[in-house]
């Protein structure tokens, strides 16, 4: 979904740069990017948590850490937040700037590495980092920086791929990652997390992890489950099955089959 400041390999870094160039070409030609269901889930979570905590987005200083396409950041700015988009890619920031202009969102843009965020400590009320941490060899490096620049009492909202999500377990990753390693010597496939492996580094950075929830519900999109979805739909049970999975997923986010991502809310303790 998003781009980190420092990815795992030069080949992976090159892949990201080529992706941003393609996005930039599409947007500069007047086109739009393909919808991303993961961004919808993150936006809904952001809206619920921030409004519940602060009442609205207005006046909040928010860092989009690894902003990538900048679509959520543009939405945050349109809601009245003071948004800074940070990415290591010039092309990604140019894409984000176009998204901001289209949303009439007044944002700031910064080029930098998430392991060395170019802001002083206690700068932001909130950090949003969606689909970023999984690209780091050691996610403690960006998390330590998130802690440093978050204000006491401020929060981070971060999402990562779910270890047992349908994309990881039954999708393309088990097939493409060995091929990428064999033929390119590197893989752009991101890490996947359990609820425990997600919570531990967040808390080790100094945050209080307040919530981990499943997001991006994507059940039965891959063989053989796509056929199962068709069969359940034909007999009128698919909607009920989805509701059952949804309840199970929110009770046990670390084993939420059908959810491709998990999203966490964590607070920097007040002094």
Residue 218 clears pLDDT 80, i.e. is over it: no
Residue 48: partners with Cβ closer than 8 Å, 6 or more residues away: none
- 80-112 pLDDT, tens per residue? 999 999 999 899 999 999 999 999 998 999 999
C-alpha 89/C-alpha 171 separation (Å) is 28
- 234-244 pLDDT, tens per residue? 888 766 776 67
CB 111 within 8 Å of CB 20: no
C-alpha 193/C-alpha 84 separation (Å) is 27
Residue 61 clears pLDDT 50, i.e. is over it: yes
Give residue limits of the domains in the chain: 10-267
- 3-24 pLDDT, tens per residue? 444 444 444 454 566 788 888 8
Does the 10-267 domain belong in CATH 3.40.50.300?
A: no
More confident of the two residues 210 and 164: 210
More confident of the two residues 269 and 187: 269
pLDDT of res. 139 = 94
Tokens found for residue 199: 């919570």
Q: What is the pTM of this model?
A: 0.80
Residue 85 φ/ψ, nearest 5 degrees: -95, 120
C-alpha 140/C-alpha 264 separation (Å) is 15
More confident of the two residues 139 and 167: 139
pLDDT of res. 182 = 55
pLDDT of res. 149 = 98
**DSSP codes, 114-157:** TTB-SS-TT-EEEEEEES-GGG-S-THHHHHHHHHHEEEEEEEE
Could you tell me how far CA 189 lies from the centroid of its own chain? 14
Averaged pLDDT for residues 188-192: 67
**CA geometry: angle 37, 56, 47, nearest 5 deg:** 15
């Amino acid at each position: 979904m998003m781009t980190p400041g420092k990815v795992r390999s030069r080949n992976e870094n090159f892949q990201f740069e080529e992706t941003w160039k393609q996005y930039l070409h599409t947007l500069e030609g007047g086109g739009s990017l393909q919808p991303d269901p993961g961004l919808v889930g993150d936006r809904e979570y952001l809206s619920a948590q921030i409004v519940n905590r602060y009442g609205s987005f207005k006046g909040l200083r928010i860092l989009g850490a690894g902003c990538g396409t900048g679509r959520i950041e543009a939405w945050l700015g349109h809601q009245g937040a003071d948004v800074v988009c940070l990415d290591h890619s010039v092309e990604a920031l140019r894409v984000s700037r176009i998204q901001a202009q289209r949303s009439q969102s007044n944002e700031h843009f910064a080029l930098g590495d998430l392991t060395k965020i170019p802001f002083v400590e206690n700068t932001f009320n909130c950090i949003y980092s969606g689909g970023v941490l999984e690209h780091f060899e050691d996610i403690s490096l960006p998390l330590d920086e998130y802690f440093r620049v978050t204000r006491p009492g401020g929060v981070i909202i971060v999402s990562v791929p779910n270890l047992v999500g349908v994309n990881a377990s039954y999708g393309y990753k088990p097939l493409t990652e060995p091929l990428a390693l064999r033929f390119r010597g590197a893989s752009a496939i991101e890490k996947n997390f359990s609820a425990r492996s997600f919570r531990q580094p967040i808390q080790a950075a100094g945050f209080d992890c307040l919530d981990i929830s499943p997001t991006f519900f994507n059940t039965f999109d891959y063989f053989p489950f796509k056929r199962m979805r068709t069969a359940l739909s034909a007999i009128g049970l698919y909607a009920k099955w989805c509701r059952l999975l949804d309840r199970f997923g929110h009770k046990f986010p670390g084993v939420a089959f059908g959810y491709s991502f998990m999203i966490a809310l964590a607070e920097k303790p007040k002094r």
